[in-house]
Structure 1
């Protein structure tokens, strides 16, 4: 009926199939409209909605939306065309399954990259420690793309991490705090007065300008170890000087204890040999026949050397 109004034939042959001209016209309109709508949505996402994303992730997201809308328009157009495309759909379904399995990790990294940009657990230039899903990775964030994150390790090497693994891992960001705690463990001999040693270390920290007054330094006896008494020294310093102060404070505490005669022992071990056991003869040397083997005992003590 519509064909008669416009003076068109009722059926035309397309690839050996009879199709109504109006169906062909409607198919063309849907395809053209699909491309126009896809282009408009991509511009909307890249220029307005996706402004929080970096430029590469924004473009990738825009392309995905564009091709998705175009695919929906093409399928809709084929649905109204009247063509029997059941065989093509079956083949396309198998191809889609194969492509889906092949690109599963790709899309997983892409989606994880988008969520990393939205959540922002780390940004370029941040020193971070990533644990959990990945083996322990520590370094400076260099780049976060749509598919992967690149880091410069503290030894100068670079590592590329898939975004899906980074997103599922624990990210410890060291740059988000103004101050960071320096933790030291000092071992002293059992003969030393712990109160005196704590006072010496605390005085040294109080005279260090970079050590913060609030939170105050915390010093306490932590453990009675096999060969020494272990003291934990905790103090807070500005984040920008944490690495330098950690190295400096170790040397500073060592110098203070040495200057005041505080012994920091090496591991000690006391070995006792019973006096009732006869000494074992040397296997390469036969004992003299005119003397009976004597019973000997030794008390050996490995004393620690003073630093």
Structure 2
């Protein structure tokens, strides 16, 4: 009888607890879930609005837009987490105090990662290139295919995929060939000393003027640039859009060879005159 009485008393206590506490816990869980759902929806709407707004701005490059979105999203999720912890009744003071020590340990352990992250911030702020630009960074050249806060992905002219850490990029000289709307093509041609320079210039002008890719402004230039030991060197400097650079460059080389030959202009090669004494005098 005593055992049954104890069991009944325990059962009554459990029922009383469920009646008083369980309902509050259920409501608390439901409240937290609602906060999470509403918070996630609001964060998604905020990111979409920011993406649309930043897409209209020409001052923000892709990396800066990604950085702003990540920062806003991170801050929003942290605020949402603080609200949830407040609902649960967690005391945030010890957690905030412990973040200082934890941050120091993590900063030491991930110093390389932090270095790339900070370099990514500098790239985003200074905007040395955009996606699609053709750049030269150190000894690597290629088109920028993607970039984030940790690395930049390049596609080389022979279609190799190169991923460079932001820390390496920011520590090197960056040459952006797509920065402006025009690019000067550096071309050259050589003729022998006994060839007609004016005729060579006339042929070179005809070649350049036949290219639709060559821009009328700035005006092209064709001049004698150097008198070598075996040749007279001419420089040809037309201007094109960056995307037409190699089209003009490679076409020019072949046409110069063909048209100089047709016109009888000698394309020189290194040669040395050797004079020997007469055999009879020896």
Change (3 A) 1:75 1:242: farther
- Distance between the aligned counterparts of 2:171 and 2:78, measured in 1? 27
> 1:165-218 deviations in whole A, cap 9, x for unaligned?
223433332333333222111111111122221122123323433322222221
Q: Using CA pairs below 8 Å that are at least 6 residues apart, which structure has the higher relative contact order?
A: 2
Change (3 A) 1:270 1:97: farther
Task: State yes or no: 1:115 paired with 2:131.
Answer: no
Paired residue total: 229
- Distance between the aligned counterparts of 1:114 and 1:48, measured in 2? 22
Q: 1:196 aligns with which of 195, 199, 218?
A: 199
Q: Which moved more, 1:61-70 or 1:207-216?
A: 61-70
Task: State yes or no: 1:257 paired with 2:265.
Answer: no
| 1:102 matched residue in structure 2 | 109
TM-score (norm 1): 0.60
If you compute each CA radius of gyration, which structure gives the higher value, 1 or 2? 1
Q: Which has the higher strand share?
A: 1
- Maintained 8 Å contact 1:45/1:58: no
Change (3 A) 1:76 1:248: same
Task: State yes or no: 1:210 paired with 2:231.
Answer: no
Runs of 4+ in structure 1 displaced over 4 angstroms?
42-56, 62-71, 95-98, 272-276
Matches within 5 A, 1:1-307: 52=54, 57-58=67-68, 60-62=70-72, 65=75, 77-78=93-94, 93=101, 97-130=104-137, 135-272=138-275
- Distance between the aligned counterparts of 2:156 and 2:275, measured in 1? 49
- Maintained 8 Å contact 2:156/2:162: yes
> 1:282-301 deviations in whole A, cap 9, x for unaligned?
xxxxxxxxxxxx985xxxxx
Change (3 A) 1:173 1:45: farther
TM-score (norm 2): 0.65
CA RMSD, 1 decimal: 4.0
- Maintained 8 Å contact 1:140/1:153: yes
Unaligned stretches of 5+ residues in structure 1: 1-38, 277-293, 297-307
Unaligned stretches of 5+ residues in structure 2: 1-38, 55-61, 83-89
| 1:29 matched residue in structure 2 | none
CA shift, 1:269, in A, is 1.7
